[in-house]
Structure 1
């Protein structure tokens, strides 16, 4: 009988090394949560992720965690090498997730499949971490009883949750505003790789064979090189991918804390896009702006409130009316205001720097609840379309109730309400919601070539809608006059008026109306 060679017992992680391993657990947990937040952020910015998309990502991620815990079971006899491999894969997959999703959306017009795939892969890898770490911490420990295992699990969970808290704070407050989505994800991947390298070199070197150490070193260097190249070329990649989304050359682009802002220009036609949605074309914005602004000024107001409209175009036309003495412009995104004061200044006649204008950086909903929100002779609501829950709240019964409270007696309000032809349910939902908030709306619509048939609502407090008129003091206009406004009040038989359940904070029905898509 041939002699047998006794197998060396597994090497335990030293008592002094356990705090370092738990610190590595916290770092890896922070990276894992940041990857999930990257996916949620991209879901919102690329595919307009509402509650359905968010629920799918969160539920899919949690389900993948469980799948990862089960799938790693056959590898628990080699916890050290498997843990290092998982962290390297997680670093490279998570680090490349943002750029992969962004490029796929830019080139193919969709990223939902890639988004769900990334959710599953990252979730599986993160789910494998805890079983591997538990095995590593217990390897070589003799006489571990139930209480000892419980204490160990408590330490592991505490480190894991502390790291998740750190990741949850770093993404919105540090990485996203300072580095952006692509670089932020890549930097997180680099940190993940550094954690894997530190664990392999300092804590698990005695548990890794020479061959495993060489393989881990080569994989770490390759992954670090890929992410390093991405960090260097991120701006070029983003510029190329972004340009594919727009027909005209991109002349300015910014990712603010709230949205992606893109300005294009060709042949004198300047266009502003927020999160990919067209806000105006300089060739025909006068049609939209005049139709939104001048009906609200029919009673020659002195104090005017503009909610949204940070591009300054509405303020420009308001200031042209001779009766206006004060304008309060409430805009959430300071990056849009900065754009209005620089690249758009010639288009808006430097409206936001006029001494009569007070620019307030705040959420319109929150500001309307302040003591300053009262006594306005006219209110102009110029918000983006409500295709997300965040924007849907600005089309809710509660919001319009606050708008009504901001009006002085006899005051008028106009609201941009979307297209009564392409999105008729959303349009009439807006009108119905205004009615439910104590406003009496008079709906109307005009043709804006860049948008198509576009609708608005003029309203006053009470039950009697105001007349669609223009003030005799209205300055010279390029598009809107009494005849156009009279015609604007007529709706064709194939797009009749609808009386719908109002949209509320509890039931943001208008978001679902928008998600239902355009009707032909």
Structure 2
């Protein structure tokens, strides 16, 4: 295109009309490729992580995002073909749009989930838009590289993809280890959008500024400033937005909210008309306890398993300390080891006035040993024997938690059981999730343990079930002879807890293993309409 053609770019020049020597210019474009690739992967990971947190089932969320984005990248590459005649302007416009869409993506999806109940359709639209814009980058960048210095296609592709893949590596590592812990989902995406705008627009416009007409150049610089202004203003308002959106997800006022490398912890508090406070703990949006009735859950979980030997007790999960509280009510428990993934949950249970009051400052008991580790990994190298094991894990709604209900997991627990030792597992609701409940029961049995399933009513949860297990013989479901004074559980309630209605009896289900996590399918199928 010549100077008189009336277009936005002044010609398809090679080497000339650049702001730097050819070698330096080429390095600058490859640096832009590197940065844009890093930003693109961060957008992708942010969508997957947000979906896993809000909806659960990380495999499904990753599949939706990756498949839609890869398809859209192909579409974007095709749509970019007519733009290769004006690659500088086209690339700058695309990067501005990508910075805006990618930077705002998490905020838009959070709003769609919190207020509109349109998360999945919004996710597909956003993933497609980001993917199409990312896909359009490569043909245009290839054209820009050839403008600097023509080279054979193989060498140009090798250089471009090398920079692209290394950038993706950096973006992939930066998201979980830097952006998410330091800035969170929303601010992290906005920050990356700003970097994307500067790297994608400013570098190219500065490098090829002599090849772009003044009016177009001015418009593009103004556009970049507008994108940065929108992202900056949104960043300034992000905290307020997040508070409002998060509150929309919870019935009661939020008293505390924090995001750790492992999960989001939310504590809500309200006072009923009767004056009784109701403190609730949520992990990634799932209710863990209500102070009004948590004693029903924890008494039913802990005391039956302690009817046997209990010199050394192991608690897997239960970072709130409430199961530990019940264990420590027996003075002949010599040692209680608690393995909890999230150190922040342990810190909160120790220091939060109301939670520490509920667990009766269990972590201050000298008999307690706390291990901050993934229970599955810890079991692989654990030694010693335990008389009683309490497995109090979050519900298995994704593969990360489903492994804590797997055949392999229970096999490792069995290895640690002392002679006559017993294990109890919280197994979800036999009413709302009967397949999940029976799959857990069947999986424990498949690990070589004899089992007794039972269930009680916990108003905050509904009908809730447990599996008591022992090696060699069926464990007796009884209370210890020296059981302390309990608020809910007694021998009569425990006897009745083994009775299941006809609609809750055995289901044709599969066991849950690491390579075949059927429990995730059961959980998501059964709880979606609960």
Aligned position for 2:189: 185
CA shift for structure 1 position 353: 2.2
CA shift for structure 1 position 140: 6.6
CA shift for structure 1 position 11: 3.0
Q: Distance in 2 between the 1:9 and 1:287 partners?
A: 77
CA contact (8 A) 1:319 1:351 kept: yes
Q: Distance in 2 between the 1:255 and 1:92 partners?
A: 25
**Counterpart of 2:265 in 1: which secondary structure?**
strand
Alignment partner for residue 41 of structure 1, among 42, 49, 53? 49
Mark the CA change 1:285 to 1:79 in structure 2 (over 3 Å): closer, same or farther: same
Give the 5 Å matches for 1:395-406. Answer: 395-406=405-416
Q: Distance in 1 between the 2:154 and 2:511 partners?
A: 52
Aligned position for 2:18: none
Q: Distance in 2 between the 1:175 and 1:169 partners?
A: 9
**Counterpart of 2:366 in 1: which secondary structure?**
coil
**Counterpart of 1:489 in 2: which secondary structure?**
coil
- Over residues 244-287 of structure 1, what are the superposed CA-to-partner deviations in whole Å (9 max), with x where a residue is unaligned? 11110000001111111100000110000111111100000000
1:83 has 2:83 as partner? no
Aligned position for 1:358: 369
CA contact (8 A) 2:325 2:362 kept: yes
Q: Distance in 2 between the 1:427 and 1:5 partners?
A: 75
CA contact (8 A) 1:190 1:227 kept: yes
Q: Normalising by structure 1, what TM-score? A: 0.96
1:205 has 2:209 as partner? yes
1:326 has 2:335 as partner? yes
Give the 5 Å matches for 1:178-327. Answer: 178-267=182-271, 268-327=277-336
**Counterpart of 2:380 in 1: which secondary structure?**
coil
**Counterpart of 2:476 in 1: which secondary structure?**
coil
1:378 has 2:380 as partner? no
CA contact (8 A) 1:432 1:499 kept: no
Q: Distance in 1 between the 2:181 and 2:109 partners?
A: 19
CA shift for structure 1 position 6: 8.5
Q: Distance in 2 between the 1:384 and 1:450 partners?
A: 15
- Over residues 314-352 of structure 1, what are the superposed CA-to-partner deviations in whole Å (9 max), with x where a residue is unaligned? 001100112211110000011111111122111111112
Q: Distance in 2 between the 1:500 and 1:363 partners?
A: 27
CA contact (8 A) 2:309 2:420 kept: no
Q: Distance in 1 between the 2:426 and 2:446 partners?
A: 17
CA contact (8 A) 1:385 1:418 kept: yes
CA shift for structure 1 position 202: 2.3
CA shift for structure 1 position 201: 4.0
Q: Distance in 2 between the 1:9 and 1:480 partners?
A: 83
**Counterpart of 2:336 in 1: which secondary structure?**
strand
CA contact (8 A) 2:26 2:148 kept: no
Aligned position for 1:54: 62
CA contact (8 A) 1:95 1:189 kept: yes
Aligned position for 1:92: 100
CA shift for structure 1 position 445: 0.2
Mark the CA change 1:264 to 1:214 in structure 2 (over 3 Å): closer, same or farther: same
Mark the CA change 1:402 to 1:460 in structure 2 (over 3 Å): closer, same or farther: same
Alignment partner for residue 347 of structure 1, among 358, 363, 374? 358
Alignment partner for residue 28 of structure 1, among 13, 33, 36? 36
Mark the CA change 1:249 to 1:159 in structure 2 (over 3 Å): closer, same or farther: same
Aligned position for 2:119: 111
Aligned position for 2:133: 125
CA contact (8 A) 1:25 1:163 kept: yes
CA contact (8 A) 1:12 1:137 kept: no
Alignment partner for residue 486 of structure 2, among 472, 477, 489? 477
Q: Distance in 2 between the 1:258 and 1:421 partners?
A: 29
CA contact (8 A) 2:391 2:425 kept: yes
Q: Distance in 2 between the 1:49 and 1:81 partners?
A: 41
1:447 has 2:457 as partner? yes
CA shift for structure 1 position 59: 1.4
Q: Normalising by structure 2, what TM-score? A: 0.94
Mark the CA change 1:437 to 1:318 in structure 2 (over 3 Å): closer, same or farther: same
**Counterpart of 1:16 in 2: which secondary structure?**
helix
Alignment partner for residue 505 of structure 1, among 506, 514, 521? 514
Mark the CA change 1:6 to 1:315 in structure 2 (over 3 Å): closer, same or farther: closer
**Counterpart of 2:85 in 1: which secondary structure?**
coil
CA shift for structure 1 position 305: 0.2
**Counterpart of 1:386 in 2: which secondary structure?**
coil
CA contact (8 A) 1:384 1:391 kept: yes
**Counterpart of 2:13 in 1: which secondary structure?**
coil
Aligned position for 2:422: 412
CA contact (8 A) 1:11 1:206 kept: no
Q: Distance in 1 between the 2:11 and 2:333 partners?
A: 86
Mark the CA change 1:104 to 1:265 in structure 2 (over 3 Å): closer, same or farther: same
